[in-house]
A and B are shown apart, each in its own frame.
Chain A
Amino acid sequence: MKAKVRKYQVVVEETLREIGIAITPPTHKATAMAVIENPFAGRYAEDLSLLMDIGAELGDILGRKAVAALGIDAPQAQSYGKAAIVGSQGELEHAAAILHPKLGAPLRAAVEKGAALVPSVKKMGTLGTPIDVPLGHKDAAYVRSHFDGMEVRVPDAPHANEILVCVSVTDSGRPLPRVGGLTHEQAEGNDGLR
């Protein structure tokens, strides 16, 4: 394995009531996180292919950890997202190298299909910096009930020479969706949009 991992952390959010209304069944969001050493901390490197390979490893590991934390089978996953926080000796582009070229394919394998774009954010940060992982439906980006986000943080990461990588998966949309638009049931999931 190319990634030098210091720790993993998995968070599950289970919502049973929202503004006084019971949510049946409860909604669940999970985010699996890895704190890794940044091999390019403190210097400019033109070729970031090592981080791309690390992205592939983490797409697989974090995708499977998130699905396992939800206690579901892969096809029951409904939405997903990804994010990274780069410690201060790194560069924003290091997050892009992990997230964009190679992380998506193994994540899609972990949730089965995944025709839609995996929404993402990235930023520079320090110990305990929170990040909002955006969420979108895994097979049809226009499913309006599944536009959401999940805020996560690791209190002691990322150090200056580290990167925090996050993958989120859900088994549901928002707790009380009612702003119309395309629904989960209507989604065809062929073109990634509808």
Chain B
Amino acid sequence: MEDTQYFMEHLKPLGLETAQALIDRLGGNAEHIDGFGKGAIVGAAGELEHGALWHAPGGYAMRELLGDSKAIVPSTKKVGPAGTKLDAPITHINASYVRSHFNSFEVYLPGAPQQDEIVLVLVMSSGPRIHARMGGLKATEIKGEDGLR
């Protein structure tokens, strides 16, 4: 199917619902969340490009609910069978170059995606890596203008 972009609109409510559920599970206070990422696993009957439909609805939902965060939401995607694992990248929500927050989260769902399904992934985190000591830009030094620094 050539035109798939309409599906991004359909995914918007799911993006907001999933992002809110994540905030709730992490204690309910969006101010405590300072890392995010996303991803998609497309079932065998789909195409890689279907995973790309999650970029806008998934990303904008998190940025909106986390207080208009400035940074790009890092992501990855692939096609795979049920139970496929995905390493979702994580970066700081307001400045991509905050070095203590470069991280990732390996996730999978047993039984999904079936071949006509897509697993849509959002990730949030609070705080830096455990024992982070690599220097670089600190979360306390963010200017917050361009989403990078």
Contact = CB atoms under 8 A, between A and B. Distances in A.
Contact of A19 (B47, B87, B129, B147): B47
B64 interface: no
Give the interface centre of B2, B8, B46, B74 by most chain A CB atoms within 10 Å: B74
A130 interface: yes
Interface stretch (B14-22, B25-33, B99-107): B99-107
B53 interface: yes
Interface in B11-62: 39, 46-49, 52-53, 55-56
B132 A179 contact: no
Nearest to B147: A193
Interface in A149-181: 149, 151, 174-181
Give the interface centre of A141, A147, A174 by most chain B CB atoms within 10 Å: A147
A101 B47 contact: no
A99 B75 CA distance: 17
Interface residues of B, number: 43
B104 A122 contact: yes
Contact of B87 (A97, A123, A147, A176): A123
A179 B134 contact: no
B76 A148 contact: yes
A48 to B, nearest CB: 7
Given A100-B136, A117-B148, A179 B4 contact: yes
B148 A96 contact: no
Contacts of A180: 5
Interface residues of A, number: 45
Contact of B72 (A46, A135, A142, A179): A142
A23 B83 CA distance: 29
Contacts of B3: 178
A179 B53 contact: yes
A57 interface: no
Given A93-B133, A134-B76, A179 B147 contact: no
A151 B78 contact: yes
Contact of B134 (A96, A119, A144, A147): A96
29 contacts: A19-B46, A91-B131, A92-B129, A92-B130, A93-B131, A93-B134, A96-B99, A97-B134, A117-B96, A117-B97, A119-B74, A119-B76, A123-B106, A130-B85, A134-B74, A134-B87, A134-B89, A136-B74, A141-B72, A142-B72, A147-B77, A149-B39, A149-B75, A176-B49, A178-B2, A178-B3, A179-B5, A179-B52, A179-B55
Interface of A: 18-19, 46, 48, 52, 83, 91-93, 96-97, 99-101, 117, 119-123, 130-136, 141-142, 144, 147-149, 151, 174-181, 191-193
